[in-house]
Amino acid sequence: MKTKKTEKKTSFFGYVISKLKTYLFTGILVTAPVTITFYMAYELFVWIDKWSRSLIPPQFAAKDFIPYIPGIGVIVLIAGLILIGMFTTGFIGKFFVRLGDFIVSKMPLISSIYSLLKQLFETIFSQKSQSFKEAVLIEYPRKGLWVIAF
């Protein structure tokens, strides 16, 4: 038999977990397209500038000054995504997201990659749409070849 006090604690705990999930998914939805886009741009620049690494003497190379702590990266990542999700669900956060979208939309190559990734993540994490509710077979990429689509 549950008392009113334990029911209230359970519902409060469920509410907190629900909010944390919402903030985590919002953080992923906001950061994933930007992160993937800039990672791809970073890899492109690294690939282009790879030849110049041999010009830097080894004594000037960066060293690890921070000790290794196992698991800290996962904790920091999840906490950061939750904080970003909390920030971007508010009025000011939405303004900054729109401002960031506007700035990225003016960058030639990065805008196309970012918009593709943003649409993909919005479709995957959308709760209101009918996304991925029905599987279909389509003839793609050429005649006689069939693939599953949603």
Per-residue pLDDT of 103-125, as tens digits, reads: 888 888 888 888 888 888 777 77
Task: Quote the percentage of the chain above a pLDDT of 90.
Answer: 0
How far is residue 145's CA from residue 149's CA, in Å, rounded to a whole number? Answer: 13
Per-residue pLDDT of 33-82, as tens digits, reads: 878 877 877 777 777 666 556 665 666 655 544 555 666 667 777 888 78
Per-residue pLDDT of 120-144, as tens digits, reads: 877 777 766 565 667 788 888 788 8
Pairing status of strand 136-139 against strand 146-149: antiparallel
